[in-house]
Chains A and B, each alone.
Chain A
């Protein structure tokens, strides 16, 4: 199709052509085209078929409020062709057609509308009950538009930004732009969000002149330039507002333009004040076959020509209710469109200049007439016009019907911002009754038509928004108000809801093929509230998100009740305002994790890394996942483990001891010099949440450890439980500041002795001791002798920056004995053989200190400390029916039960926490939580494993620890 040239309003670049494919043919469009306009330029008029009746559908609004032009683009279904810019190489396919959009084999469905009245799927296909599964399958195949395979991988880059603004302006038309400029005058930070790829709104494509003699399009472009030059205004184009929340939180999705690094990004703005200037859309005119290809709204016809250089037809009839329709008729006539006649719903009130223009061009003008029926099978060929009462009729041949019932405001963002809307009878608009704090409204959505009034309202709103931010605006505000008062106010709106028709094929919702007849059926069945009708007829529940039924539905229902002003309310609007990809919500797919200082060398040494919470740690250093070599090496030789993830804290200050006493169940006041104290923390239900050791490094100065999982919460926990006391103490989380090496095995001391001059003999550094010394005279170490794995071991805490060096030093020194790395799995088995607790493995949310056999850690005689958990410990220590932690051995020693296997008699009596084959003991052992009456030594336990098909296995409760019960090895 040949493009109109030399129009100042064009947004396409005739010099830059783009290739795309549609229906297996290579085609071209221009840079600036949307997929829809590019297809239109290639002669495509039928873009797809509707959901239920498979009616042909085409361009209607150019803003994608319906699914008419939803197409598959580059494999992605349901892409809105009207709002997606054409890109080179795009593969475009039609949806929901059997055959082609022009010749859809399912087109016969249109003749079956009588079988599908409102809500028919609620009342059919389910009796007799057995037919429902069959019906379900067929309905599933027929429902929906696009297709996607379950293995589809969404391409593209998705990002997110969280800019902060003083003023957020929603809408980049003349009012929005003026608001942004006005607010920016105070030096405030302004962000403006605009859905289209350019600013300008409804000025952008209009050549009528304002009072200064320049076209509105020119005015808009100049304003846009002004915004560009302001460094404190940030403009986001192709950004559609999705949600508005409490405290002026505005969310939007922005599509990337060619040069952007993202395909889509999520924008979340916290603004002090918000200006809503979203403008208006056209209220669809309701008449028979109102959605036939060839029927389009005023803006669509006007913009096809002015923005994209495409004349929307050859011979046109206009049926409008707004001066914009008259303006479009004149402009398009001048560009070569034959205009058969213009029918205006309004009896009077038209702009006399426009009427004169029609006269000059000899275009017949019908006052008080409206389209009642569009004719033509695939595309339009005739239109029936009638008086608005329906008495007199005429028919006209045409291939374009420009139809519109008037304007209606885009109230979505305002609704979400909790503004109360009410019907205003003069304009016929839903207007905000009371605005929430720090929200301003401007522009066409207030019913203004005059260009200067629209701009002035924007300026006023911008100044008010600046005042909301605390800027001083008095003189400018006064001037702006005076200016507004001198300009024309809101104009009378066209209130016609439907043409005089029965409504069998008058579509109130294009997405769901809901007709006026369906609405009448619903009303007859007693659904007389708009919200009920919406759901019963499905009107407004499609991808267009109610854009087409919009305000027509509540106005129609209000008309039924006879009193529009009192009862009409738009249906509840919910986030998201526009359809959005799940990929955009998912955002960037960062895998965030923490690594220890020796992560790389662990990996290089053959460590198999796994995630544990937020950390990446080495789980195995063997190909044999039973880790036999690692385990036996620790029992007989010496092994080295990276324990850097251990929680580590310093607490100090005059009341530091009080804070420790509050959260630890033991008595922290008697920690001996040079010794660690092992203790536990419980919650207020006496359930154990953490265990660790505490060291007193100085007067009122303590260093303590926690489990890896609790490290993040510890500071918060301690501060929470001391929040009423007003104590003087400080805490710092040193978890990431210190690395930890666990050197374990009978040869551990020999290795350590090689690298330090300090006396680390058993006499000088006994079990449960704490010492600080230097390694190689250079690395400062805090060392503890603990026994988690049941062998002689030294826990070496070093500042993280020294960790790698210490690792290298010890590894080198240990070569003589064949020192080996061991990982978390080996550590797990080793500590299991000693029945040492891992919180979360041998305990759960309801396991108390007593249940796991650590009741001895609790000092009940501690008084005045209000220790967290003490009350419940006292109350539960003799409670009956509790679980107890026990050790067990298998009757059949060939294999251990699976972790998590349940222990049963005729009911569930407990579960296996961990079980492994022990190489040390040469048989399988495990730990389990069982009901107290099964906890006695010698009890037989019946174990049910997942998928055991009724074959239980058996174990016996035995005393723990299994290995070295007297703890001689630890104390070497």
Chain B
């Protein structure tokens, strides 16, 4: 695909080589007092931002590393970490 991503190990590569791993939502919340709804929201709900979001990618056709990066969802281009939070 047209997109390119920068793997922390291998450098800038074609989008074909990667698998999307979802929005960055942080590590699993504490299980104590976790309602089914809150758990479902953590697993399934996405913010679906129109703009820059932080997300996970796997370099599946390369070194296999999982890494985080920022991407502008409106242009589908990888961006450097933004100064301000979006």
Co-assembled chains A and B: yes
Seen from chain A, the residues whose Cβ lies within 8 Å of a Cβ on chain B are 245-247, 249, 270, 684-685, 715-716, 719-720, 723-724, 866, 870-872, 875
Interface centre among B1, B2, B36, B64 (most CB of A within 10 A): B2
Q: Are B64 and A247 in contact (CB under 8 A)?
A: no
Cβ < 8 Å to A, chain B residues 12-53: 14, 19, 21, 27-28, 31, 34, 36, 39, 43
Q: Select B4's contact among A247, A684, A723, beta carbons within 8 Å.
A: A247
Min CB–CB distance B61 → chain A (angstroms): 11
A256 to B76, CA, bound (A): 34
Q: Select A270's contact among B14, B21, B31, B76, beta carbons within 8 Å.
A: B14
Given known A-B contacts A719-B64, A720-B66, A875-B39, A866 and B76 have beta carbons under 8 A apart: no
A715 to B65, CA, bound (A): 10
Q: Are B58 and A720 in contact (CB under 8 A)?
A: yes
Q: Are A716 and B3 in contact (CB under 8 A)?
A: no
Q: Are B2 and A719 in contact (CB under 8 A)?
A: no
A875 proximity list for chain B (CB < 8 A): 36, 39
Min CB–CB distance B76 → chain A (angstroms): 6
Q: Are A684 and B14 in contact (CB under 8 A)?
A: no
Q: Are A247 and B3 in contact (CB under 8 A)?
A: yes
Q: Are B77 and A246 in contact (CB under 8 A)?
A: yes
Q: Are B43 and A684 in contact (CB under 8 A)?
A: yes
Given known A-B contacts A246-B3, A247-B77, A716 and B27 have beta carbons under 8 A apart: no
Q: How large is the interface on B (under 10, 10 to 19, 20 to 34, 35 or more residues)?
A: 20 to 34
Given known A-B contacts A247-B77, A270-B14, A723 and B3 have beta carbons under 8 A apart: no
Q: Are B3 and A720 in contact (CB under 8 A)?
A: no
A247 to B34, CA, bound (A): 43
B34 proximity list for chain A (CB < 8 A): 871
14 A–B pairs (Cβ distance < 8 Å), ordered by A: A245-B1, A246-B4, A247-B77, A249-B2, A685-B43, A715-B64, A719-B64, A720-B58, A720-B66, A723-B56, A871-B28, A872-B39, A875-B36, A875-B39
B27 proximity list for chain A (CB < 8 A): 724
Known: A245-B2, A247-B4, A720-B66. 5 other contacts (CB 8 A): A249-B2, A715-B64, A716-B19, A719-B64, A723-B66
Given known A-B contacts A249-B2, A720-B21, A866 and B28 have beta carbons under 8 A apart: yes
A870 proximity list for chain B (CB < 8 A): 31
A871 to B36, CA, bound (A): 9
Nearest to B12 among chain A residues (CB) is A247
A685 to B42, CA, bound (A): 11
Q: Are B77 and A716 in contact (CB under 8 A)?
A: no
Min CB–CB distance B15 → chain A (angstroms): 9
Bitwise interface map of B from 51 to 86 toward A, beta carbon under 8 Å scored 1, else 0: 000001010100011100000000111000000000
Closest 4 CB pairs between A and B? A245-B2, A246-B2, A249-B2, A724-B27
A270 proximity list for chain B (CB < 8 A): 4, 14
B56 proximity list for chain A (CB < 8 A): 720, 723
Nearest to B3 among chain A residues (CB) is A246
B75 proximity list for chain A (CB < 8 A): 246
B28 proximity list for chain A (CB < 8 A): 866, 871
Min CB–CB distance B6 → chain A (angstroms): 11
Given known A-B contacts A246-B3, A871-B39, A719 and B66 have beta carbons under 8 A apart: yes
B14 proximity list for chain A (CB < 8 A): 270
A247 to B60, CA, bound (A): 21
Nearest to A725 among chain B residues (CB) is B27
Min CB–CB distance B23 → chain A (angstroms): 14
Given known A-B contacts A246-B77, A249-B2, A685-B43, A871 and B66 have beta carbons under 8 A apart: no
A246 proximity list for chain B (CB < 8 A): 2-4, 75-77
A756 to B21, CA, bound (A): 48
Q: Are B31 and A247 in contact (CB under 8 A)?
A: no
A719 proximity list for chain B (CB < 8 A): 58, 64-66
A247 proximity list for chain B (CB < 8 A): 2-4, 77
A249 proximity list for chain B (CB < 8 A): 2
Min CB–CB distance A577 → chain B (angstroms): 15
Min CB–CB distance A871 → chain B (angstroms): 5
Min CB–CB distance A92 → chain B (angstroms): 38
A871 to B39, CA, bound (A): 8
Q: Are B58 and A716 in contact (CB under 8 A)?
A: yes
Nearest to B21 among chain A residues (CB) is A720
Min CB–CB distance B78 → chain A (angstroms): 9
Min CB–CB distance A311 → chain B (angstroms): 47
Q: Are B39 and A716 in contact (CB under 8 A)?
A: no
B3 proximity list for chain A (CB < 8 A): 246-247
A249 to B14, CA, bound (A): 10
A515 to B73, CA, bound (A): 42
Min CB–CB distance B27 → chain A (angstroms): 4
A767 to B31, CA, bound (A): 37
Nearest to A879 among chain B residues (CB) is B36
A716 proximity list for chain B (CB < 8 A): 19, 58, 60, 64, 66
Nearest to A685 among chain B residues (CB) is B43
Nearest to B75 among chain A residues (CB) is A246
A270 to B13, CA, bound (A): 10
A724 proximity list for chain B (CB < 8 A): 27
A688 to B28, CA, bound (A): 19
Min CB–CB distance A153 → chain B (angstroms): 30
Nearest to B26 among chain A residues (CB) is A724
B60 proximity list for chain A (CB < 8 A): 716
Nearest to A719 among chain B residues (CB) is B66
A145 to B2, CA, bound (A): 34
Nearest to A712 among chain B residues (CB) is B60
A940 to B28, CA, bound (A): 43
B76 proximity list for chain A (CB < 8 A): 246
Min CB–CB distance A268 → chain B (angstroms): 9
B2 proximity list for chain A (CB < 8 A): 245-247, 249
Interface centre among B27, B28, B31 (most CB of A within 10 A): B28
